[in-house]
Protein backbone atom coordinates (compact mmCIF):
# COMPACT_ATOMS: atom_id res chain seq x y z
CA UNK A 1 0.00 0.00 0.00
CA UNK A 2 1.43 3.30 -1.07
CA UNK A 3 1.29 6.12 1.39
CA UNK A 4 0.99 9.79 0.62
CA UNK A 5 -0.96 9.26 -2.59
CA UNK A 6 -4.36 10.77 -3.05
CA UNK A 7 -7.26 9.48 -5.10
CA UNK A 8 -6.88 12.20 -7.69
CA UNK A 9 -3.91 11.88 -9.94
CA UNK A 10 -3.48 15.57 -10.53
CA UNK A 11 -5.15 15.48 -13.92
CA UNK A 12 -6.80 18.67 -15.01
CA UNK A 13 -9.87 18.31 -17.10
CA UNK A 14 -9.90 20.41 -20.24
CA UNK A 15 -13.08 21.70 -21.79
CA UNK A 16 -14.13 20.26 -25.14
CA UNK A 17 -13.88 22.68 -28.04
CA UNK A 18 -17.06 21.97 -29.98
CA UNK A 19 -16.02 24.23 -32.85
CA UNK A 20 -12.97 22.04 -33.44
CA UNK A 21 -15.10 18.90 -33.38
CA UNK A 22 -17.64 20.45 -35.75
CA UNK A 23 -14.89 21.57 -38.11
CA UNK A 24 -13.28 18.15 -38.14
CA UNK A 25 -16.63 16.47 -38.76
CA UNK A 26 -17.35 18.90 -41.62
CA UNK A 27 -13.97 18.18 -43.15
CA UNK A 28 -14.51 14.43 -43.01
CA UNK A 29 -18.05 14.69 -44.42
CA UNK A 30 -16.72 16.92 -47.19
CA UNK A 31 -14.40 14.17 -48.35
CA UNK A 32 -17.45 12.02 -49.06
CA UNK A 33 -20.29 14.40 -49.89
CA UNK A 34 -20.52 18.01 -51.20
CA UNK A 35 -16.86 18.97 -50.80
CA UNK A 36 -17.44 22.49 -52.12
CA UNK A 37 -19.96 23.16 -49.31
CA UNK A 38 -18.38 21.40 -46.33
CA UNK A 39 -14.80 22.48 -47.14
CA UNK A 40 -15.26 26.19 -46.37
CA UNK A 41 -17.37 25.32 -43.32
CA UNK A 42 -14.52 23.18 -41.99
CA UNK A 43 -12.01 25.97 -42.62
CA UNK A 44 -14.20 28.52 -40.85
CA UNK A 45 -14.93 26.35 -37.81
CA UNK A 46 -11.28 25.28 -37.54
CA UNK A 47 -10.07 28.88 -37.64
CA UNK A 48 -12.61 29.95 -35.02
CA UNK A 49 -11.57 27.03 -32.80
CA UNK A 50 -7.89 28.02 -33.05
CA UNK A 51 -8.74 31.54 -31.92
CA UNK A 52 -10.29 30.25 -28.70
CA UNK A 53 -7.28 30.01 -26.43
CA UNK A 54 -7.31 27.56 -23.56
CA UNK A 55 -10.15 25.33 -24.73
CA UNK A 56 -7.99 22.59 -26.19
CA UNK A 57 -8.64 20.89 -29.48
CA UNK A 58 -5.86 22.69 -31.38
CA UNK A 59 -4.94 19.48 -33.20
CA UNK A 60 -8.53 18.90 -34.28
CA UNK A 61 -8.84 22.53 -35.38
CA UNK A 62 -5.68 22.30 -37.51
CA UNK A 63 -6.89 19.01 -39.02
CA UNK A 64 -10.24 20.67 -39.81
CA UNK A 65 -8.48 23.48 -41.66
CA UNK A 66 -6.32 21.06 -43.66
CA UNK A 67 -9.32 18.86 -44.54
CA UNK A 68 -11.34 21.94 -45.44
CA UNK A 69 -8.64 23.08 -47.86
CA UNK A 70 -8.45 19.59 -49.39
CA UNK A 71 -12.26 19.46 -49.70
CA UNK A 72 -12.40 22.86 -51.37
CA UNK A 73 -9.65 21.99 -53.85
CA UNK A 74 -11.33 18.67 -54.68
CA UNK A 75 -14.66 20.43 -55.17
CA UNK A 76 -13.16 23.06 -57.48
CA UNK A 77 -11.26 20.48 -59.53
CA UNK A 78 -14.36 18.33 -59.90
CA UNK A 79 -16.44 21.32 -60.98
CA UNK A 80 -13.84 22.38 -63.56
CA UNK A 81 -13.52 18.87 -64.98
CA UNK A 82 -17.27 18.27 -64.96
CA UNK A 83 -16.83 15.39 -62.56
CA UNK A 84 -18.96 17.13 -59.96
CA UNK A 85 -22.08 15.16 -60.93
CA UNK A 86 -20.21 11.92 -60.36
CA UNK A 87 -18.96 13.11 -57.00
CA UNK A 88 -22.37 13.96 -55.59
CA UNK A 89 -24.07 11.02 -57.22
CA UNK A 90 -26.01 12.98 -59.84
Q: Tell me, what's the pLDDT at 81?
A: 82
pLDDT tens digits for 8-21?
566 666 677 889 99
pLDDT tens digits for 33-90?
888 899 999 999 999 999 886 777 788 999 999 999 999 998 888 888 876 555 555 5
Burial-class residue 86 by CB neighbours within 10 Å (0-12, 13-18, 19+): exposed
Amino acid sequence: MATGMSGTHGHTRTETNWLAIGGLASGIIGLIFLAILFGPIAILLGALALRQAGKGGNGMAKAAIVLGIVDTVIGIVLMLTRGFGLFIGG
